[in-house]
Amino acid sequence: MVFVKDGETVVPGEPLCIQEEFSPGENAALDSRGRVIAKVLGTVSYDKSKRIVDVRPLKTPQLIKVGDQVLAQVRSIQDKIVVVTILSVGDRALKHPKAAIIVPGRGMKEEMKDVVGVGDLVVAQVITQFMGIIGLSIWKPNLGVVLGICDKCLNALTRTRAGLICPKCGEKHKRKIVPFYGNMERIASMLEVMPS
């Protein structure tokens, strides 16, 4: 007995058919009563030749994959790694920011605290994904800090010929910056809100 027509929208837990008619496919499961139910909000698709029912999600999850360029905010700096929160992928803001780490570059001699600071916004590239941990790199020329934050007074750092300086307290800072450092229009474009 088919409960829902092909192409109709269903909610999680909604019965689609009985097990004897179609097996559960993608985003479908078998319940204790022998019915195939939807696991996600989506549209039903019955494959009559394979006898499988799938539910195609209405909203596709935001995936982060190796090679993607991301905008992230530095949360903490440890000896060998930097913990960040990914705010956007490409030019799309994430609805649910994700944690990641920036790994040191090969043969890196400087300390991580001389490359980035807590609170900084950085452009990085995804280089690994292993067991839910996202590894980032900032070692290519167009990657690094796009907006630095002063360690002492938390003001945005200004780029000068002498390097990065805090306009409020005058403190000088070391960072690995991008060529477009401080370009607020460019930073804002990286944080465009995703359509819902």
pLDDT score of 61: 61
The CATH topology of domain 9-57 is OB fold (Dihydrolipoamide Acetyltransferase, E2P) (2.40.50)
What torsion do the CA atoms of 102, 103, 108, 110 make, to the nearest 10 degrees? 40
Whether 52 and 23 have beta carbons less than 8 Å apart is answered as: yes
**In a structure prediction context, what are the per-residue pLDDT tens digits for the chain, which is 196 residues long?**
788 899 999 999 999 999 999 999 999 999 999 999 999 889 999 999 999 999 998 876 667 889 999 999 999 998 778 999 999 998 788 888 899 999 887 777 778 888 899 999 999 999 998 877 899 999 888 899 999 999 898 999 999 888 899 999 988 988 999 988 888 888 887 776 443 3
Whether 145 and 169 have beta carbons less than 8 Å apart is answered as: no
CATH 2.40.50.140 maps onto the chain at: 69-190
CATH 2.40.50.100 maps onto the chain at: 9-57
Whether 96 and 46 have beta carbons less than 8 Å apart is answered as: no
pLDDT score of 23: 94
Q: Determine how many CB atoms are found less than 10 A away from the CB of residue 102.
A: 24
Q: Determine how many CB atoms are found less than 10 A away from the CB of residue 192.
A: 12
The CATH topology of domain 69-190 is OB fold (Dihydrolipoamide Acetyltransferase, E2P) (2.40.50)
Phi, psi of 155 (to 5 degrees): -85, 155
pLDDT score of 60: 62
